[in-house]
Amino acid sequence: MYYSSGNYEAFARPVKPEGVEHKSAYLVGTGLAALSAACFLVRDAQMPGEHIHFFEKDPIPGGACDGFKYDGVGYVMRGGREMDNHFECMWDLFRSIPSIETEGESVLDEYYWLNKKDPNYSLCRATKNRGQDAHTENKFGLSDEGQQEIMKLFFTPDEDLGDKKITDFFDEKVFDTNFWMYWRTMFAFNNEQSALEMKLYLKRFIHHVGGLPDFTALRFTRYNQYESMILPMVKYLKDHGVQFHYNTKVMNVQFDISGNKKQAKRIDLLAEGKEDHIDLTENDYVFVTNGSNVENSTIGGQNKACAFNKEIQPGGSWDLWRKIAAQDSSFGHPDKFCSDPEKCNWMGVTVNTLDQKIIPYIKNITHRDPLSGKVVTGGIVTVEDSSWLLSWTINRQPQFRSQPKDQCLVWVYGLFTDRPGDYIKKQMRDCTGKEICEEWLYHLGVPTDQIEDMAANSANTVPTMMPFVSSYFMPRSAGDRPKVVPNGSVNFAFLGQFAETPRDTVFTTEYSIRTGMEAVYTLMNVDRGVPEVWGSTYDIRDLLDATVKLRDGKPVSQMKLGFKQKIAFKEGLKKIEGTDIEKLLKEYHVI
């Protein structure tokens, strides 16, 4: 496997790897990582579809990428996916997956045209004082000292960031700014989480710094991601004969390890409650999604709070990874990520408006009609002064094909589930859907004497609790995540957010798809480049632009400098006078 960039390899079709027709693949999970691995097996490795088998513990595919209407409960979206134009592996794949909406279009066409015609941007990024615009005015509000804290992290080598927390680098000079409010609510970081992940994000998305305050950086799918991404992939795979085995738990994968040779030799299954196993040869390949941020997630209801289920059970992804990790030191350390759900849980909530009473309060904040079918909030609206740190978003409606045209689905999420609310004086995690809706309506500015009635009769609200949702960001160091293809592996790979691939960032759809592509290209010897992670962090233009944007447009020449630094700066300017460097610095308003 090798990386490439540019369009020479992007359009190349790899030759069929030798002997692939004698090989089979067994994939654990049907999340984005495993589905994309199978798509790459079919498209690029040209493995016969009938040789590819999924084992999925749940009755439906998709893993974290959900969107489902549960009978008697209502519509549920545990999350919504903010995405990027530089998800290179994702668009490499989705150009080949036919849309299930429009004949002749690919999923990429559908997404591209949608976001071209109706670009995403926000008209109100945050509110306070019960529905008033917080007027962040697209500013980051960072002092020179705050910027230096960010720069210090940006330039610290990865090796020095093992097990470090964000609080080891930032203090109130960053935490008390709009920058941090934008950042932690958009990406769901908490202050105690991984400094390494924070740094990788800064580098990975440096080209988007200017688009952070108003979300011009973002793009969204037409419907929820289950309908817009998972279903087209499943159809593509089924059309190629790929086999899906639902309600099938992989209890263990056993390995033969001798010297540096590691071979998966047996899969233990619990299929529809019955024990079974598969013996594996060198021609049987296993792709394991190790760890999942939606494991143990629970659904409440309009009048039901969610259970907060912290216990790890056999047949789930953490238990499986633990059993695998026990067999070799290169298979990672799952407990780094799954041992403390208090540090990585949050809740996603779906509010389904049933009549028109809540709509004016939404319009008042978003300055858009939520039922127009076009961009509404354009990313999240954060309630700055909410104890639960609520944010909410309304993507283009309808979010589900089956959704009635006059109803609106709102995704609300709260980062602090263990604190009492401002109107509902209970921890978020103990609240029913109706109570969470009341808290949200309070922050929308609905008069207090109408809140209860509206939450009861004008909406159906379904909360979900995800105990491990930001486990991706738990502090970690080298070796805690196994390599996608561990050294010495003969016939297996790890997939998803807890498999290690250089430079890309977790909590993204792209990361899962990238691991799928790298796993297949490595194990099947697909002779075509895997697209490199977008290289903006090596592009001086992006670096200069981000520097000035982080300073809210103020040139670097206006930084407070000591006497000696001022002299050095002036001398430096003289040296570049009349050169392309001076031109570039002026073009990006650095000087």
| CA–CA separation, 219 and 466 (whole Å) | 24
Nearer Cβ to ligand FAD (12/326): 326
Q: Which helix (H) or strand (E) holds 275?
A: strand 274-279
294 binding ligand FAD? (CB under 6 A): yes
When asked if residue 528 is in the footprint of ligand FAD (CB under 6 A), the reply is: no
Q: Three-state DSSP class for 320?
A: helix
Residue 439 near ligand FAD by CB under 6 A: no
Query: Which pairs from 96-101 meet CB under 8 Å and 24+ separation?
Result: 96/39, 96/43, 96/236, 97/39, 97/232, 97/233, 97/236, 98/232, 98/235, 98/236, 99/232, 100/231, 100/232, 100/235, 101/222
Q: Does 170 bind ligand FAD (CB under 6 A)?
A: no
Active-site option among 56, 82, 510, 518: 82
496 binds ligand FAD (CB under 6 A): yes
Binding residue for ligand FAD, selected from 25, 64, 212, 428, defined by CB under 6 A: 64
Stretch that binds ligand FAD, among 155-163, 292-300, 534-542, 575-583 (CB under 6 A): 292-300
201: annotated active-site residue:
yes
| Nearest residue to 481 (alpha-carbon basis) of 507, 502, 508 | 502
Q: Does 78 contact ligand FAD by CB under 6 A?
A: yes
CB of 67 to ligand FAD, least distance (A): 11
The answer to the question of residue 518 lying near ligand FAD (CB under 6 A) is no
Interface residue with ligand FAD, options 40, 55, 205, 400 (CB under 6 A): 55
Q: Tell me how far, at minimum, the Cβ of 174 lies from ligand FAD, in Å.
A: 22
Alpha carbon distance 545, 525 (integer Å): 39
- The answer to whether residue 31 forms part of the interface with ligand FAD (CB under 6 A) is yes
C-alpha distance from residue 125 to each of 181, 218, 292, 391 (Å): 10, 13, 30, 10
Task: Supply the DSSP symbol for 541.
Answer: H
Query: Which part of the chain contacts ligand FAD (CB under 6 A), choosing from 137-145, 287-295, 536-544, 568-576?
Result: 287-295
Q: Phi then psi for 68, rounded to 5 degrees?
A: -150, 145
DSSP three-state, residue 49: helix
Which one among 30, 352, 387, 397 touches ligand FAD, defined by CB under 6 A? 30
Would you give the binding string for ligand FAD spanning residues 345-364, x where CB under 6 A is met?
---x----------------
Q: Determine the interface stretch with ligand FAD among 55-63, 369-377, 439-447, 541-549 (rule: CB under 6 A).
A: 55-63
Sequence-ordered strand ranges (E) for 369-455: 381-383, 390-393, 409-414
Q: In this chain, which of 1, 20, 42, 65 binds ligand FAD, going by CB under 6 A? A: 65
Assign 3-state DSSP to the chain and report helix, strand, coil percentages, each to 5.
Answer: 35, 20, 45
**Dist. CA 263–CA 265, nearest whole Å:** 6
Nearby residues of 29 by Cβ (< 8 Å), 6 or more positions away? 54, 55, 56, 57, 63, 288, 289, 292, 317, 495, 496
Does 411 sit near ligand FAD (CB under 6 A)? no
User: What is the Cα–Cα distance from 522 to 21, expressed in whole angstroms?
Assistant: 17
Q: Does 249 bind ligand FAD (CB under 6 A)?
A: yes
372 phi/psi in degrees, rounded to 5:
-75, -15
HSE at residue 428, side-chain half, CA atoms within 13 A, is: 29
Rounded distance, CA 332 to CA 498, Å? 9
By beta-carbon proximity to ligand FAD, the closer residue of 28 and 390 is 28
Q: Can residue 180 be called a binding residue for ligand FAD (CB under 6 A)?
A: no
- Part of the chain binding ligand FAD (CB under 6 A), chosen from 132-140, 445-453, 503-511, 561-569: 503-511
Residue placing its CB nearer to ligand FAD in the complex, 30 or 99: 30
- What is the separation, in whole angstroms, between the first and last Cα of the chain? 43
Closest approach, Cβ 518 to ligand FAD, in A, equals 13
Interface with ligand FAD includes 482 (CB under 6 A)?
no
89 lines the binding site for ligand FAD (CB under 6 A):
no
Of 316 and 370, the one with the shorter C-beta distance to ligand FAD is 316
∠ at Cα 23 (329, 63), nearest 5°? 60
Determine, following the binding rule CB under 6 A, whether residue 320 of this chain makes contact with ligand FAD.
Answer: yes
3-state secondary structure of 345: coil
Total site size for ligand FAD, rule CB under 6 A: 37
Residue 58 touching ligand FAD (CB under 6 A):
yes
Closer residue to ligand FAD (CB): 186 or 459: 186
Kindly state whether residue 414 participates in binding ligand FAD, applying the rule CB under 6 A.
no
For residue 173, give the nearest of 201, 195, 144 by alpha carbon. 144
Q: Give the integer Cα–Cα distance in Å for 542 and 588.
A: 9
Angle among Cα 182, 185, 190 to the nearest 5 degrees reads 110
Shortest CB 587 distance to ligand FAD, Å: 32
Q: Is 323 an interacting residue with respect to ligand FAD (CB under 6 A)? A: no
Q: Point out the catalytic residue in the list 201, 413, 442, 472.
A: 201
In the residue annotation, 82 being an active-site residue is answered as yes
Which residues of this chain interact with ligand FAD, rule CB under 6 A?
28-34, 55-58, 63-65, 78-79, 81-83, 249-250, 289, 292-294, 315-317, 320, 348, 469, 496-497, 507-509, 512
Q: Which residues participate in catalysis according to the annotation? A: 82, 201
